[in-house]
Amino acid sequence: MIEFAHTFLLVFGQLAVGGILALSVPEFHEIERGFFKSSACVYLGCGVAILLGKAYLVLFARPETLWSLHGLEVGVWFVFCLFCGIYTYTLWGDPFVLRARAYVFSLFSGIVALSISASSYRQASLLSVETVLYPLSFLTSAAMLGAVATGMSLGHWYLIQLGLSLDPFKRVFKFYAGTLIAYLSVLIFAVGLFLAFGSESTRSGLTQLWADHRALLALRLVLGPLASLSLAYMIWRTLQIPQTMAATGLFYIAILSAIVGEFLGRFILFRTGLPL
């Protein structure tokens, strides 16, 4: 059950890292700073959630894993939360240089932390396709989660800041659509490479997935990325009107679809060790 908890905590880390990445899409001076403050606080909270969860599991539930890869995860997630906290703090003032550096370091440390977390599930050798595809799958799904969460948050801001140009909203939507396509492409590409060049354990996981968890895989695809594609099309059509309130409502549904899909994906990871 400890590994089950480790697996599901990853969704918080994905949302934290992807959210910080997505905050770079709308230009800082286009929107009132309150948007960046509220969004950064949410993503920092997600980072703290995975940090505290991992720390508890390592230090109290299984202290013998302190010097394992799970122990290293606690350290790198702490670094991410530290820089993310500094970045969030600078949003209440004007330390431009510190803010820029804190943002870059928080994003870089988040990518490293998520890559290490992904690599802890890899059973293949270092010189294998899994070494690249495990982190890549997690990072693209993190970007997709962050994009849809930022889109929902930004949509609410149009109800507060009247007369705001639609350009930031359209850019965030395009970023969301791009990350969704990239994520689906990586999933398809990963399955093909796992079948062709994957290790024995990876191919065994694929066999187990198809034999024992086909219904789970179907739910993961239908409720996650496939539903998100349909919602993305609806959001795009709504923004052509334009109707920001309706687009925000669709982003609400899209983030629910994305999160449900990722939780199902993490259950597949727990059952088979595959980053799908």
Tokens 């949302």 locate to 15
Asked whether residue 1 carries a pLDDT value surpassing 60, the answer given is no
Summarised one tens digit per residue, pLDDT across range 130-175 is 778 888 888 999 999 999 999 888 888 888 777 777 888 889 889 9
User: pLDDT-based confidence at 67, cuts 50/70/90?
Assistant: very low
pLDDT, residue 124, reads 67
Asked whether residue 237 carries a pLDDT value surpassing 50, the answer given is yes
Summarised one tens digit per residue, pLDDT across range 72-102 is 788 889 999 999 999 999 988 888 888 889 9
Q: What is the largest CA-CA distance in the chain?
A: 58
Segments making up each domain of the chain, as ranges: 2-272
Residue 125 DSSP one-character state: -
DSSP SS3 for 127:
coil
Q: How many CA atoms lie within 13 A of 79 on its CB side?
A: 14
Global confidence as pTM: 0.88
